[in-house]
Chains A and B, each alone.
Chain A
Amino acid sequence: MPMNKSKELLTKAADYLAEIQALAQSTFTIMEVCGTHTVAIAKNALRELLPETVRLISGPGCPVCVTDSSDIDRYLYLAAQPNVITATFGDMIRVPGTEKNLQVLRAEGADVRIVYSTQDALELARKNRDKEVVFLGIGFETTVPTVAVSLETAKHEGIENYSVLSMHKVVPPVLRLLAEDAELVVDAFLDPGHVCSIIGIEPIGFMAKDYGKPGVVTGFEALDILEAIVMLLRQREEGRSEIEIQYKRVAKPEGNPRARMFIEQVFEPVEASWRGIGLIPQSGLGIREEYSLWDAAKKFSLPIFHSEETPGCRCGDVLKGRIYPTQCSLFARFCTPMKPVGPCMVSSEGSCAAYYRYAQRSGD
């Protein structure tokens, strides 16, 4: 990289840090909602760079981590059915259910394929007409439009051996729940840049307006995050509470209306259970009646599971920002990315995994 460019970046970072230092005279607690932010913060050691008064805590923004154990057991049950090909993003492969995980099922003979996109899953269905291809639908508003497009394509092309098990979730209702949590000590939010590039800022405006919790829609590089922290501190300094966009090069105030149209066409809001948090009304997405032929839950008449949370795992408290992962007594001792006890350790974007990986590297 040309010298002057890297110098420019370093100067910028130093300027942001100086302004943060100047503005953060008293404690300011910021929650990063998105798991990708958690990883970026850990990777760049931002917590260590910031003054002690600025606290960064992780939120419920890792879709794998908030998938309820009952949902996990349900898809494992489905994956074990004969004639089923389970298509999934790689993140899910080692997530532990009550007894097994997808990797174990695969070793036992289940047909589990890691796909990079829903396009790949559809292609599997086109090529294996005698099999049922089920895509495990896990993700937030960033991912949901890509699943919606696949269902629309399946309907349009009449691909009847493709279906989706929808465990999708949306972000605004869980933000409201956090804002109403009396125990939560968060002053402001780093809002998820890619979720907002789809939904825009209107759906999260209530956080600033009704609850006095300012937010900044933030990108995923160290400089993005530092700039967003400066923006939040300036809001406090000036007594404002707004949702602002730092990640302007990607996230537009109106989001991506076409992507939202796909979501609305295929999915409808339903109550959903968030791991460690509980039931939240309107926070999940169910497949609409018009697409029920491609709804795996209906197609396979899947039973509802009532699985227990893993004893000792404090993922729920981690997801709500009540404790740091290191405060879980199992952290790093009994629970590691190689042998994860809970979902916050298994997903690469889980807070526990991010803390573990980067703490190991820096030799903490």
Chain B
Amino acid sequence: MCLAIPAKVVSMDGSIAKVDMMGNERVVSIDLVPEVKIGEYVLVHAGFAIGIIDDESAKETEELLLEVANAYEQE
């Protein structure tokens, strides 16, 4: 239930942001991370961005792991 998925912020409008979540567009609330910027990665849980994935190398890791996850799902 504490599952959360990384997504990239594409656009923002007030407390709402459009994000790219593994290739799907989703609308999420950014009430909990109002400082987020377009292009940053956030962690999405139950329709809310709950944290910002902010470090460059970390982003790479996340992308890398995502690819593995995708490969795994497609098996």
Chain A residues proximal to chain B, CB less than 8 Å: 1, 5-6, 9, 34-36, 61-64, 89, 91, 116-120, 138-140, 142-143, 145-146, 149, 192, 194-195, 197-198, 220-221, 223, 248-252, 256, 258-259, 262, 347, 349
Contact = CB atoms under 8 A, between A and B. Distances in A.
Nearest to A251: B51
Contact of B33 (A6, A117, A120, A258): A258
Interface of B: 1-4, 29, 31-34, 43, 45-48, 50-51, 53, 55, 58-59, 61-62, 64-65, 67-69, 71
A146 B47 contact: yes
Contact of B32 (A195, A248, A256): A256
B67 A347 contact: no
A1 B65 contact: no
A94 to B, nearest CB: 14
8 contacts: A9-B64, A61-B2, A116-B47, A117-B29, A145-B48, A250-B51, A252-B51, A256-B51
A132 B71 CA distance: 44
A153 B64 CA distance: 37
Nearest to B4: A194
A221 B43 contact: no
A195 B58 contact: no
Nearest to A40: B3
Contact of B50 (A63, A220, A249, A256): A256
A1 B68 contact: yes
B14 to A, nearest CB: 12
Contacts, number: 110
B70 to A, nearest CB: 8
Nearest to A256: B51
Nearest to A349: B1
Given A139-B1, A142-B1, A248-B55, 12 more contacts: A6-B68, A9-B68, A35-B1, A140-B2, A142-B4, A142-B50, A143-B46, A145-B48, A149-B48, A194-B2, A194-B43, A249-B55
The list of the 8 closest CB pairs from A to B, nearest first, reads: A117-B47, A249-B58, A142-B2, A194-B2, A146-B48, A197-B51, A259-B32, A221-B65
Q: Is the interface of B mostly helix, strand, loop or mixed?
A: mixed
A146 B28 CA distance: 11
Nearest to A220: B3
A238 B51 CA distance: 32
Nearest to B56: A249
Contact of A119 (B29, B55, B59, B62): B29
Given A117-B48, A194-B50, A36 B55 contact: no
A250 B53 CA distance: 5
B25 to A, nearest CB: 14
B75 to A, nearest CB: 12
A36 B46 contact: no
Contacts of A119: 29, 47-48
A348 to B, nearest CB: 9
Contact of A221 (B34, B59, B68, B71): B68
Nearest to A63: B1
A259 B29 CA distance: 12
Contacts of B65: 221, 223
